[in-house]
């Protein structure tokens, strides 16, 4: 039995340039995810999206999860509205069908086998859609501001209030004064999940599966902040899972 759990983190397929090699298709992930996982005491493994998604996605994901002790479904581009039977809003422009297929399969299979999961931003939205939920496609139309995503390549900042009695509240306390935020969409409906944190403007900021020992998601970007508690909790759950004890409860 390994004492160090292995956490898989989903990623992009993006062109990258290194030296004289230009625009080489690469599996990419902001290193802040890796750093947070490693500092919390686990080994980070990058999960690339599949290019040739097919009917065996779920079988391959089960093979993958047999080698992992936990998963982070990372942030990124908008989920295709067609996946939750919605007409596409004009603000939804860059879609990633490879990530959609891979991450939806991961969200669905982890719900069945109870591997510890932390969804971050897009990851929270993927988990909601995989459960049959829907998304609010352009949040500023409802809240009347751009605080959640103030500008390209720039994080916003706002507080969140947790819901008493939830696991998020147990981990983070009643209020987090400042979370890094970069999203123009949010979760509207989330079958099987309960709300566990809200922004002051009524945006759902966290949700969790009360039937699962560790299945949490947040709309903000904790990997960009200085608070390690969510990653530490994921690694604790993954360590128990690796030991065959099931994900740890608090």
User: What region does 132 belong to: left with phi over 0, alpha with psi -120 to 50, or beta?
Assistant: left
C-alpha distances (whole Å) from 17 to each of 20, 28, 84 are: 7, 12, 35
Is 51 in a helix, a strand, or coil? coil
In the set 103, 145, 223, 232, the catalytic residue is 223
Q: Report how far Cα 76 is from the mean position of its chain's Cα atoms.
A: 9
Q: Is 121 a catalytic residue?
A: yes
Name the maximum alpha-carbon separation found in the chain.
54
Tokens 């983190």 identify what position?
A: 9
Query: Are 215 and 208 within 8 A, CB to CB?
Result: yes
In the set 121, 158, 183, 205, the catalytic residue is 121
Q: Is 223 a catalytic residue?
A: yes
Query: Are 240 and 229 within 8 A, CB to CB?
Result: no
Query: Are 216 and 196 within 8 A, CB to CB?
Result: yes
Q: Is 31 a catalytic residue?
A: no
Which regions of the chain does DSSP assign to beta strands (E)?
6-10, 12-18, 21-28, 43-47, 70-73, 117-120, 134-136, 156-162, 175-181, 186-189, 194-198, 204-208, 215-218
CA dist 6 and 40 (Å) reads 11
In the set 145, 148, 221, 232, the catalytic residue is 221
Q: What angle do CA 182, 184, 188 make, to 5 degrees?
A: 115
Kindly list the catalytic residues. 121, 221, 223
């Amino acid at each position: 039995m390994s004492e160090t759990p292995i956490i898989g983190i989903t990623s992009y397929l993006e062109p990258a340039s290194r030296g004289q090699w230009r625009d080489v298709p690469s599996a990419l992930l902001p290193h802040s995810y890796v750093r947070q996982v490693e500092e919390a005491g686990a080994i980070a493994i990058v999960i690339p999206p599949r290019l040739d998604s097919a009917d065996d996605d779920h079988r391959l994901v089960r093979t993958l999860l047999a080698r992992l002790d936990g998963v982070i479904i990372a942030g990124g581009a908008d989920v295709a509205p067609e996946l939750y039977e919605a007409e596409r809003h004009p603000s939804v422009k860059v879609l990633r069908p490879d990530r959609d297929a891979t991450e939806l399969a991961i969200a669905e299979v982890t719900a069945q086998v109870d591997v510890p999961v932390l969804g971050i931003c897009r990851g929270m939205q993927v988990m909601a859609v995989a459960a049959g939920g829907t998304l609010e496609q352009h949040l500023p139309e409802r809240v009347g501001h751009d605080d959640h995503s103030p500008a390209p390549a720039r994080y916003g900042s706002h507080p969140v209030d947790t819901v008493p009695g939830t696991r998020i509240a147990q981990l983070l306390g009643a209020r987090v004064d400042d979370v890094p935020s970069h999203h123009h969409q949010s979760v509207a409906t989330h079958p099987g999940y309960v709300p566990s944190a809200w922004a002051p403007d009524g945006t759902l900021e966290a949700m969790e599966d009360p039937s699962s020992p560790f299945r949490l998601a947040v709309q903000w970007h904790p990997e960009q902040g200085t608070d390690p508690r969510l990653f530490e909790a994921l690694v604790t759950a993954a360590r128990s899972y690796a030991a065959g004890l099931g994900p740890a409860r608090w």
